[in-house]
Structures are given as C-alpha cells and as structure tokens.
Homo-oligomer: A and B are copies of this chain.
C-alpha cells in the first residue's frame, strides 16, 4: 500500500479531537501552524522530548500502543515538573512506509488514550519518512504567574522529598529485555510501558506553595539529583535507607536486582523530586491521593552530593543514570 504525506496527515487529524470548547485552541491540525490562546495571569510552559527507535524504545520489544502512550506521557511529565497543566501538543513523526498501516494505527491509539487521560489534545506537527521511527513531542502547558516550580529554588536546610517508589520502571525494562515471557499485567512492565506523570500532585504542591524546587525523575535519581543541586547551587545528604524502593522478588531465571541500585540509577520513573522548607515540612502529608511522599535527605550549603548508608560512612554519590552520550549506558 502506497501512502502519501496527505494520507498520513488525514490519519493524524482523526487522532485529534474534533471540538475543543474553551480549550484555548483556536486552530489545530492542517494549516501552517497551530494557534493557542493563553489565559490571563498564566505563563506558557514549553518543552520538547525525543523518543527514538533504538535509543528510547525497541520496535520488536515495545508495543506500538505503548510507544504512542509513553512518547506523550514522558513529555507531559516535564509540564508536571514545573507545577503546570498541559494544554496541547505537537507531534513530529518520521517512520518507514511499511509502518503506516497497523503499527501507526496502534501507535495513534496509545497516543490518543494518553491525550485523553492527560487532557492534552494534538494540535499540529510534522511528518516525514525515515527508515527508523523518530518521534519528537512538544508539549505546551500553563502555570499561574510566579507559581512555576524550578530546579533552582532549593535552599540549604530544605528537606528533600520524592513521590512514589523508585526503580519499578527499570525493573520492567530489565524484564522486557530478558526475552522471557512476561504477563501483560506485570506491574513493573506496565510501569515501564505506560507511565503516568504526577500532574495532580505537582499542581497541588505548586498551589499550596509547599515546594521550593521541583523536577521530574526521568534519568534516575543519582543523575537527576545532581541537576537539581547544580541548578540550586547546593549539596545534599541522601539517606539510602529512606529511599522508597520497589520490592524485588526472584523473577523467573533473572537474578534479583539490587533495589537500591534500581532506585538510584533506574530511569523512566516520572516521579517528582522536590524540596520543602523545614518550617513547612510538617504540612506535608505522608501520602497524597494514594501516592507516598517520602523525605529522603536534606539540602546542604556544602555542594557535595553524599549518600549515607544505614551503617557506615557517607560517600559521594556517582551519577549513573541515563546519559545518551555514555556508551556503556545504552539501555534500551
């Protein structure tokens, strides 16, 4: 079956919602560009994210439906990281002609489900042909003026918190890569394939003015925490026994991974990492809408990033999360 760019755009247009009352979307797919109207008193958040075959997903391992879901969910997580709300997104898609049938339909199915769940309609983009699937997603969001939570706001003395449990998505990836048969409802697998950004929690933290700084965990705590500290020009003492880890049992023939190693260096968690002034820490509940909120360390003036084990001496924490330019770390 031969396709053309026009046919492909028709398919994409069907994946976009028809009517958008009060959405702020004045013009969607089909023109040179999309038009968006911001609300008074709000800032516009802009973010974009690569999702590339061979780097971020494997065509023979990741279902097309998950590729669609995850490509949007992970980009929306950057909007959550600012304490914002997603408004719309642009999809840049390049793919081989043989994938413009069933694969594309399933991809768009997953993308449409994420789009509905995250209240973030498709409004435009660009398509072309390539031998490998290339995806780039731009998400436009909004946040009330002066309410955006930046990486740079942490102060010495602040308590460092994390939402949820860390390392489960990486466990799912290890199972997926093991080429062992996995149950479709395996929680770790689902966490890896269909992550959900912490939008409600992030907005609540911003609305309540509880956090001094925030980011989302996409590349692993050991790597992302360095970024937060660098932006805030601070250090941290991290307590390894306090980090909420995933429970790891022996699974099929795979040796059980180290939960701390998963929590520190596993990527794709899309949990929130944030700091709270010590005077406000008592206002933070232990969990919010079922999501645990755990104090895992303390921000320091000394710019070292130290990991304190339950027994023994603190040592410097090495960034060993996802870095596309580190050859040894070619994870998925």
Tell me the A residues contacting B by CB distance below 8 Å.
2-8, 26-27, 30-38, 40, 43-50, 52, 55-56, 78-79, 81-82, 84, 88, 90, 92, 94, 97, 100, 123-130, 134, 136, 138, 140-141, 143, 145, 148, 150-152, 215-216, 231, 323-326
Contact = CB atoms under 8 A, between A and B. Distances in A.
Contacts of A30: 151, 231
A50 B323 contact: no
Contact of A36 (B44, B55, B138, B215): B44
A46 B37 CA distance: 11
Contacts of A44: 35-38, 44, 140
B32 A82 contact: yes
Most-contacted residue by chain B among A33, A94, A141 (CB, 10 A): A33
Given A31-B150, A32-B78, A40-B40, 14 more contacts: A4-B325, A6-B323, A33-B45, A33-B84, A34-B45, A35-B44, A36-B44, A44-B140, A47-B90, A48-B48, A55-B128, A126-B136, A134-B134, A136-B136
A94 B37 contact: no
Which of A7, A47, A49 has most B Cβ within 10 Å? A47
Contacts of A49: 92, 126
Nearest to A151: B31
Given A31-B231, A45-B33, A324 B138 contact: no
Contact of A130 (B26, B55, B78): B55
